[in-house]
């Protein structure tokens, strides 16, 4: 069982290790909340953030998102950002209709936009939160399962889902 003190300790450790990437997350999140939509450039920056150390995945995602039409990206992301409440399945499905946006990239977008309710979809966080990894982990349905579990822990301790996720991620790397 983890307590609030440990979650905050690990989350702060995550923040210390991320440097400029944490700044980029804050900048993009503020921009998403202000504009209430994404641009193609925003999407490219999310790809850079998520796959910063994974050149093959980054290049593949770059190619896919570069094929998007600006108006379509703005429209679909606006639908995701402007729905009232945390209608998770709708937000996820709106974002994954954008070319190149997988449930993993959609989770990054949502975590930046609303860190209180959303977190980044990661295998290490899944293991720390829910245990065994199912086949075909990175689906929208599994992301919804993960954020439900993260929110439960976050609500118990009066924290954001993103804070809990960062803590579980960095803790998993120390094992």
- Per-residue pLDDT of 64-118, as tens digits, reads 999 999 999 999 999 999 998 768 999 999 999 999 999 999 999 999 999 999 9
At 159 the pLDDT is: 97
At 19 the pLDDT is: 81
At 32 the pLDDT is: 97
At 1 the pLDDT is: 58
pLDDT band at 172 (very low <50, low <70, confident <90, very high): confident
Work out how many domains the chain is built from and give that number: 1
HSE-CB for 2 with a 13 A CA cutoff: 23
User: How large is the average pLDDT for residues 46-66?
Assistant: 94
User: How large is the average pLDDT for residues 31-46?
Assistant: 97
According to DSSP, residue 163 is labeled H
Please write the tens of the pLDDT for every residue from 134-160: 999 999 999 999 999 999 999 999 999
Where would I find the beta strands (DSSP E) of 24-141? none
Higher pLDDT, 44 or 173: 44
Please write the tens of the pLDDT for every residue from 6-25: 999 999 999 998 888 999 99
Q: Say how far apart CA 116 and CA 104 lie, in whole Å.
A: 18
Range of the domain at 13: 4-173
């Amino acid at each position: 069982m983890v307590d609030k003190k440990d979650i905050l300790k690990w989350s702060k450790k995550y923040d210390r290790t991320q440097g400029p990437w944490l700044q980029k997350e804050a900048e993009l999140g503020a921009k998403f909340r202000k504009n209430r939509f994404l641009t193609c450039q925003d999407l490219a920056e999310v790809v850079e953030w998520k796959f910063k150390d994974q050149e093959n995945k980054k290049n593949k995602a770059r190619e896919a998102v570069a094929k998007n039409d600006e108006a379509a990206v703005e429209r679909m992301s606006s639908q995701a950002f402007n729905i009232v409440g945390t209608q998770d399945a709708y937000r996820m499905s709106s974002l994954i209709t954008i070319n190149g946006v997988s449930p993993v990239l959609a989770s990054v977008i949502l975590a930046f936009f609303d860190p209180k309710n959303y977190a980044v979809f990661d295998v290490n966080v899944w293991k720390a939160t829910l245990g065994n990894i199912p086949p075909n982990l990175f689906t929208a349905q599994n992301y919804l399962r993960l954020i439900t579990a993260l929110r439960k822990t976050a609500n118990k301790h009066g924290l954001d889902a993103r804070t809990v996720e960062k803590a579980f991620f960095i803790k998993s790397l120390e094992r």
